[in-house]
Amino acid sequence: MDGTGLARSIVWGIVVSSAVLLGGSIVTMLATTGSLWDGIAVGAFCAVWGGPGFGAMFGAGFHALRCERLAANAAEPVVTAIALPPVAGSGAWTV
């Protein structure tokens, strides 16, 4: 695994999960209580306490999955032989 790619994936996971938790909490609290400030308070709490742990876990997991897929694709054999039409007069296909 690449260290810089892992760190970048973790940071993106933290940012995205914090934003989703903040936005989801604000919308939910606004819909249920009608108070924007209650939504901001609960959203900030959820984003601070839930965002980093959840985001780091998912960011690292997605990075590991991407590395495994790249390794699996590199291990597959690549077909390089191309069948060419027969050379005039030889009657045989060349590879």
How far is it, in rounded angstroms, from Cα 26 to Cα 37? 8
Among 41, 46, 42, 49, which residue's Cα sits nearest to residue 20? 46
On the question of pLDDT at 12 being above 60, the answer is yes
Q: What are the sequence ranges of the domains in the chain?
A: 3-75
User: Residue 54: its pLDDT value, please?
Assistant: 87
pLDDT digits (tens, 9 = 90+) for 37-94: 989 999 999 899 988 888 889 888 888 888 888 877 776 655 555 555 666 665 555 5
Q: What is the pTM of this model?
A: 0.66
Sorting pLDDT into bands at 50, 70 and 90, what band is 15?
Answer: very high
